[in-house]
Amino acid sequence: MSQTTTLAREQARELAMEAMRARGFPEREAAITVEALLDAERDGLPSHGLSRLPFYLDQAASGKVNAGAIPRAEADGAVVRVDADHGLAFPAIASGLDAGFEVARQQGLCAISIRRSHHFGVAGAPVERAAREGFMALAFSNAPSAMAPWGGHKPLYGTNPIAFACPRPEAEPMLLDLSLSKVARGKVMLARKAGKPIPEGWAVGPDGAPTTDPETAIQGSMVPAGDAKGAALAMMVELLCAGLSGSRFGFEAGSFFEAQGEPPGVGHLMLLFDVDRFAPDVLARCEVLFAAMLEQPGVRLPGDRRHQLRRQSDDRLTLPTAVVDDLTAIAAS
């Protein structure tokens, strides 16, 4: 069993910030990134939490990630374009939303297109932030190839998350967050690092045969959620994210995990809808649907589990000791 270390959130924050400073990240960009990773840990999503940071920092050391990148957001009508400049995604997302909220309030809706970016992180996080500002929101991201088109064996698409959030005036936002593979590829990476098998049905090897070996899975293809339908949606996300922004398609993108090679250079798209512009009492109408769903025993709204974990969380994080050791060594450097 892999060893773990428990840290207070503030301890984990300072350790992560010191490691990012050691790799030359500006203070604002480092702080936005660290908070996003800590929030993922809090919400029970460790595959998108601090375990990602050593990979980011190794890529910053090699130059694959531009540690000094300052994202630039430019509004053009109802479109906000953001150039992440091959830095990490989180500051680019934050800059896009900061500009996008203002545009959406003026125009009624806004499309935020981000180019030359990196790992999107928890896709539900930016749409939840938007919902707390009163917007319905959608988010999409493409990613390095990990999933073959239906009927093929060679990965072309990323696992390409989709997220949606709807404000609820008297409750936490309804939050939908899913990968277009049956599970996030980060879970396979964690299994490989822990030396554990993966469940059958998550992935196939290079020959298209099902596998429980994470190494074989990484060399092969993730299985799309919904089979052919999930693969088709993954293609759609490639076009919305990389196509619209002029970024790299999944099969052109460098790895999120390897220190060497070309920057990933992927794209993201976020859509904001000012609900008051569309119809009277939009959110009240949404509550009619939610109430009808919840009348049925066993039904819960998407996002409820995440909100529940957040309420139950304390100020302490249990992290793999190997991750803590890696960050400590980088911070000391």
What's the mean pLDDT in 214-219?
92
Q: Which residues contact 326 (CB under 8 A, 6 or more apart)?
A: 54
What is the predicted pLDDT for the residue at 164?
98
**pLDDT of 55-84, one tens digit each?**
999 999 999 999 999 999 999 999 999 999
Tokens 């999409």 -> residue: 140
DSSP designation for 104? H
Map residue 236 onto helix, strand or coil. Answer: helix
* Average pLDDT of the chain to the nearest whole number: 95
What is the predicted pLDDT for the residue at 1?
52
Whether residue 325 is predicted with pLDDT greater than 70 in this model: the reply is: yes
**pLDDT of 230-289, one tens digit each?**
999 999 999 999 999 999 999 999 999 999 999 999 999 999 999 999 999 999 999 999
For residues 232 and 150, the answer to whether their CB atoms sit within 8 Å is yes
Domains and CATH numbers, the chain: 4-181+224-279+315-332 (3.30.1370.60), 182-223 (3.30.60.50)
What's the mean pLDDT in 44-50?
93
Q: What is the DSSP string of 125-140?
A: HHHHHHHHTTEEEEEE
**pLDDT of 77-112, one tens digit each?**
999 999 999 999 999 999 999 999 999 999 999 999
Rounded to whole angstroms, how far apart are CA atoms 89 and 250? 16
**pLDDT of 113-153, one tens digit each?**
999 999 999 999 999 999 999 999 999 999 999 999 998 88
What is the predicted pLDDT for the residue at 190?
79
**pLDDT of 147-202, one tens digit each?**
999 988 899 999 999 999 999 999 999 999 999 998 878 788 878 878 899 999 99
Q: Which amino acid is at 174?
A: M
